[in-house]
Amino acid sequence: MKFFVDTADTDAIRELAETGLVDGVTTNPSLINKSGRDIIEVTREICEIVDGPVSAEVVATTHDEMMREAEVLRKIADNIAIKVPLTIDGLKTCKKLTGDGTMVNVTLCFTANQALLAGKAGASFISPFVGRHDDIGYDGMNLISEIRMIYDNYDFPTEILVASIRHPIHVLESAKIGADVATMPPEVILKLFNHPLTKSGLDAFLADWEKTGQTIG
């Protein structure tokens, strides 16, 4: 499974990238707003940090305007993936952009039927929102299972990019189902490291090492 970082915080991206765990980055208008920076400037910096896909989202709602904004965004770097909403105009834009060789991430997916449409439109990535699904009483993981089955049935190359991840269990269940990508905030990635037995084991090793009075090197 690929790990994408869902943030526009370049310091956090850079720190995680040093672990070798970061395969890409996703941003959206809310994350750009949170960064307090210009979208072109911060997206360019992110693309310099990571080699994998960096999703930059259009904010237009019509096909022609989406194409205009996409033209600006995809000039930032070769690893830009244009992010479009799962609407008719969004899928028209997806079809046009992927036909030109541009990566496209179709976002705000909440049903398997929507994912089927995105796959037929040639999306590079589909972003089903599991956390928001859970928030209103639906099973976000069931959505991922349905999309996986449909894409496998028809050999769609579209990658399932699980979004709106809230905790490590979302990551685990997505991996078990066979999702291609999990995009998550930096704090969720850091939680994947945590286990009380890892900490207690390390504390015991260090305590015993101190008793030896030795140093290495």
Residues 56, 45 contacting (CB under 8 angstroms): no
Q: What is the pLDDT of residues 13-57, one digit of tens each?
A: 999 999 999 999 999 999 999 999 999 999 999 999 999 999 999
- Mean pLDDT across the stretch 75-83? 98
Selecting among 83, 176, 199, 211, the annotated active-site residue is 83
- Mean pLDDT across the stretch 108-135? 97
Q: Is 199 a catalytic residue?
A: no
Residues 124, 98 contacting (CB under 8 angstroms): yes
Going by their DSSP bridges, the two strands 159-162 and 181-184 should be labelled as parallel
Fold of 2-212: TIM Barrel (3.20.20)
Domain locations along the chain: 2-212
d(CA 138, CA 183): 20
